[in-house]
Structure formats: C-alpha cells, structure tokens
Amino acid sequence: MRLWIKDPIAILAEGAERGLVVEDGVIVELVGSGRDPMLPVDQTFDASRHVITPGLVNTHHHFFQTLTRAHPEAINKELFPWLQALYPIWAKNVTPETFRLGTRLALTELMMSGCTAASDHHYLFPQGLESALDIQAEEADRVGIRMTMTRGSMNLSRKDGGLPPDTVVQDEDTILADCERVLNRYHDTSRGSMLQVALAPCAPFTVTKRLMRESVSLAEKYDCRLHTHLGETLDEDDYCLEKFSCRPVDYLEDCGWLNERVWLAHGIHFNDDEVRRLGHACVGVCHCPTSNMVLASGQCRTKELEAAGSPVGLGVDGSASNDNSNLIEGVRHALMINRLTYDAASVTHLDAFRWATEGSARCLGRDDIGALRIGKMADVAFYALDELRFSGAGDPIAALVLCGAHIADRVMVGGEWRVVDGTPTTIDIARLRHEHGEAAKRFLESL
C-alpha cells in the first residue's frame, strides 16, 4: 500500500511541500512543490488541515510517577528532599497493577502529544515488581509506540550512604542477571524495531561503581545503550566530592562511561572542560527543561554541548517532577528556557524541534527515526491549527511552539495510525482516566 500524505499546511522537511509517500511503514518519497508522486499511489490522505513534523522522541521519563503528580509531600522542593519525600510513598504503593496503569497512561499521554518513540528510565524495584520491564513491553505494544526500555537499577540504600530506602533496591547480582534476561528477551537492534533495551544505573548516589562498570561490559556484549542521571544538581556535585573525591564527570570516566553508547539525563552542572570531554566522547545529553524548572535544578548548556559534539535530545522527565507527559509542551519550554539562558536570536523553534527529533534519536542510537526523509520510518505527527490560540499565526511551524500546541490531531507510527482526531486508536481514554485515578488515590491515602 502506497499512501500519499498530501498537501499539508506546512511540513518540517526539506523538499516535501506537497507531502510524502509512505509504503510498508517507511517514507519512500518526498513530494516537492509543483508535482505529484513519481509512482502511482494506492491511497491519499488529505493533510490540508495539518502541520506535519517528525514524530517526537522522548529520551527520559519515569512512567510510574504519573501516580504521584502534584503530590502534597513533594511540591515546592528541590531534587534531594523531593526524592526523600517520595521514595517511601513509591516503595509502599508501586505494585504490578499500579505500575501497569502508570505506564499505560504515560505512553498514551506522550503519544497524544505527538510522540512516536519513548524511553523510560525505570529504577524502582520493590518486592513483587520484578516483572516491571515485561509489563512495559506489553504496554508499549498495546499503545503502539516505539520504546527503549531502560533497565534501571539502584543498589545503594540509606544503610549504605545512598538516598533510597532499603525496600526499593536490589543486590548487584540480581540486577545484572535481570539485565541479561531483559536484553535477551526484548532488545531488537534491527532497523525499524519497536522495542529496544538500554542499561541504566540510576545515579551516582544510588549505585556502586562495580554496577556501573559491569553495565558497560553488558552493553558491549549486547550492543545496547547506557543511560544514567548526571550533573542534575549541585547536591550531586557535593555528594561525588565527598564520597569519591571527584566531580560527577570524573566519576563517569572512572567507571568507563565516557563513550558514544551513553546518554545522560539533565546534564546541567558541567564546567567548560567537562563539556569538552563529553563532546569529544560523543556522550549524549537529554535536556529536561520542564523538570529542571519545576525542581529549580538549573539550566542545561545545550549550545555548548552540541558545539562540542554531544547529541542533545529532549525529555519530559518523570511525571512527578514535570507533572505531565507532554513532549510538544516540552519543546516550547526548551525554547523558552534556552532563550533565557542565551538570547532570542540564537535559539529558535527549529533548534527545539531538532532536540526533540533528530537529537533524541541520536541519543537513543537510532538512525531510522527522528526525521522526515526517504528511508526513515514513517513516524509522523500531525497538528491542526483550529484552536483560537493559533488564529493569526503567520509561520505554521513556529506557531506550534510559540502559540503552544499541546495535542496532536493525528499520529502515525511505522505507517499505522495510532491517534485519529486527537484520540488513540487502541486505548479507551475514559476508562484509563478512571482506573488510573482510582489507583493514584492509594498514593495519597498512605500519607
């Protein structure tokens, strides 16, 4: 089946003024101005109501945290006290059932914002939640979205000088064995794959150096990516100096993590030399603008990192520090905070879109998504400009960011419609809202 997505209002692709042709889940032709497709098509979709972008790619999230949004114990706190408030609540209430609903809601919410590929950093494993990654694989398939599952881990609890309670950490051997199990079962490196796996020790203050180093060995064995939090707060700098007598990037290098398999979440507090070293090693950085502002963590040095050679992607981060899972909103926040960091002329809406598409795809190690080009997967977001907020907008692509788009009218993943008229094709939104809301009540009742 050859489908011509025809005559959009605007499209974020060069030489595709009249749209694009999709066949077998792949973009096979860009249709330029003044012509029709070169070969006959079987079907045409009228895109004259839509502004089209590549499907957005989310490179950092914590899906289960949708269950503790705007939690009264955690609001108005910075990262360390925020974590200390929420760890006990999560430990008592994250079960396979609540975790499944949290995952389903986060994936659905992301996709409705125009996201076609998502990564989740799951590091919380209280007793009974050993099947967390299996649940996520099932839910990603149910929603119909591409996913990189990061098998997160924590093995330093309070008794060891870490932050999390003893009940949510695992020992190194258990972690490493499950990493291999998940890699063997789910990691698909083929072009156009729907499911991949990365290894993701949580942060310097929650894991041992041995776990960090063993994760590198497994990543090389299975050809997968590596992910962790780094450089998010000044508290983290102080922790590393106290515990390891070095700064976080030095710690990362000592663990063997300065290489192109790695992408980091946040990456805020890097000095000039650290930016240079990260760029030289092609270490990616997921910029999390909304979370960084909510927790007052700081401002990521996106322009310097990109100039040094680091891929820069975009992530919404956890729904308890962002309070939603909306990546197109994250694009707008990325533009705003970076203009405040730099200036209005040198950071454009196209930069913000690049971080959320091609930059994010590079962080995940994927060259088959993130752009509307021939040979890429047909992962496409369609936004309508019917709302009052867009009336009077002159540049349709810029309007999505500057006027604040927050929902996609349609979303295509691998040539399949996954959102139609703003509604997911595989998920009952009303039922999900009710079930998730009921599950979230126990996270408040436990106060």
Query: CA-to-CA distance for 365 and 359, rounded, in angstroms?
Result: 10
Q: Is residue 125 part of a domain?
A: yes
Q: Please say whether the beta carbons of 81 and 142 come within 8 A.
A: no
pLDDT of residue 233: 92
pLDDT of residue 335: 98
The reply to whether 21 and 101 lie within a common domain is: no
pLDDT of residue 124: 94
The reply to whether 330 and 420 lie within a common domain is: no
The reply to whether 351 and 418 lie within a common domain is: no
Q: Which domain holds residue 44?
A: 2-54+375-424
pLDDT of residue 446: 61
Query: CA-to-CA distance for 139 and 102, rounded, in angstroms?
Result: 10
| Domain CATH code at residue 387 | 2.30.40.10
The reply to whether 48 and 68 lie within a common domain is: no
| Domain CATH code at residue 177 | 3.20.20.140
Q: Is residue 435 part of a domain?
A: no
DSSP code per residue over 194-261: SEEEEEEE--TTTS-HHHHHHHHHHHHHHT-EEEEEES--HHHHHHHHHHHSS-HHHHHHHTT--STT
Q: Please say whether the beta carbons of 119 and 152 come within 8 A.
A: no
Nearest partner of 22 among 44, 48, 50, 47, judged by Cα: 44
The reply to whether 324 and 416 lie within a common domain is: no
Number of domains into which the chain is organized: 2
The reply to whether 268 and 173 lie within a common domain is: yes
The reply to whether 256 and 246 lie within a common domain is: yes
The reply to whether 312 and 217 lie within a common domain is: yes
**Which portions of the chain are predicted below pLDDT 70?**
446-447
Q: Is residue 200 part of a domain?
A: yes
The reply to whether 250 and 347 lie within a common domain is: yes
The reply to whether 285 and 154 lie within a common domain is: yes
pLDDT of residue 445: 82
Kindly tell me the burial class for residue 409, based on how many C-beta atoms sit within 10 Å of its own C-beta (0-12, 13-18, 19 or more). Answer: buried
Q: Is residue 344 part of a domain?
A: yes
Q: Please say whether the beta carbons of 332 and 401 come within 8 A.
A: yes
What is the chain's mean pLDDT, rounded?
Answer: 96
The reply to whether 379 and 341 lie within a common domain is: no
pLDDT of residue 159: 86
